């Protein structure tokens, strides 16, 4: 059961994930979380560095869809200026939004990776739905109320994985 929380890969930030690395693994699409994955949960807009990252992905024909548990106003105000498709109120870790994003991108699961900062929503949801997953270190050191609770549970799970030798990275 706990293996459902184990990501396929870990990255210190979204910027470690390049089109070249994705293409080597046959990845043509990204389903990504928004808050604390791409930007801080309380930052309304993309940073210049993130805009450049999105442009590099688009230039390399890597499709991106933002799948967020946040409300439509938040996700739309972030995504629309960037012209990036999005699915708000996703109810992750349930698989419906992941599968909808996959269908809208017109890709196969084997060609798509789920990227996020939370084990209990992004990684669990991606793994349960049959995607490859990448866990990134949260952008912000602060979280909303529910996420603070999730982080406590995540630390216990990550510590268990470390003790079993299943992960090698540090938080």
159 Cβ neighbours under 8 A, 6+ residues apart: none
Instruction: Using pLDDT thresholds of 50, 70 and 90, give the confidence band for residue 170.
Output: low
Give 18-71 pLDDT, tens digit per residue.
999 999 999 999 999 999 999 998 899 999 999 999 999 999 999 999 999 999
Q: pTM of the predicted model, to two decimals? A: 0.90
CATH code assigned at 78 = 3.40.50.1000
Whether residue 52 lies inside any domain: the answer is yes
Mean pLDDT of 143-163: 79
Q: Residue 100 CB: number of other CB atoms within 10 A? A: 15
Q: Is residue 14 part of a domain?
A: yes
* Structure token digits, residue 68: 């967020």
Rounded to the nearest integer, the mean pLDDT of the chain is: 93
Q: Which residue has the tokens 């609770």?
A: 149
Cα dihedral: 122, 124, 126, 127 (round 10): 150
Q: Contact, 89 vs 71, CB < 8 A?
A: yes
State the pLDDT confidence band at 168, using cuts at 50, 70 and 90. confident
pLDDT tens digits along 110-130: 999 999 999 999 999 999 999
Would you give the DSSP letter of residue 55?
H
> What is the band of 143 on the pLDDT scale with cuts at 50, 70, 90?
low
Q: Is residue 169 part of a domain?
A: no
- Spatial neighbors of 87 by CB under 8 A, at least 6 apart, are 65, 66, 67, 68, 75, 97, 100, 101
Q: Which of 101, 37, 6 is nearest to 63 (CA)?
A: 101
Residue 146, domain extent:
2-163
Q: What percent of the chain has pLDDT over 70?
A: 95
Split into its structural domains, the chain has a count of 1
């Amino acid at each position: 059961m706990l293996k459902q929380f184990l990501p396929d890969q870990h990255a210190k930030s979204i910027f470690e994930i390049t089109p070249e690395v994705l293409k080597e693994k046959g990845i043509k699409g990204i389903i990504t979380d928004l808050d604390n994955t791409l930007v801080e949960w309380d930052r309304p807009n993309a940073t210049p560095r993130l805009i450049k990252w999105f442009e590099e992905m688009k230039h390399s024909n890597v499709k991106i869809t933002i799948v967020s548990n946040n409300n439509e106003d938040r996700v739309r105000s972030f995504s629309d200026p960037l012209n990036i498709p999005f699915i708000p109120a996703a109810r992750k870790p349930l698989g419906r939004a992941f599968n909808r994003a996959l269908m809208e991108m017109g890709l196969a699961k084997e060609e798509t990776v789920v990227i996020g900062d939370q084990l209990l929503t992004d990684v669990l949801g991606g793994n349960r739905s049959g995607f490859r997953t990448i866990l990134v270190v949260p952008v912000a050191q602060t979280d909303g109320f529910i996420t603070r609770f999730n982080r406590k549970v995540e630390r216990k799970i990550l510590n268990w994985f470390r003790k079993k030798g299943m992960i090698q990275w540090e938080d």
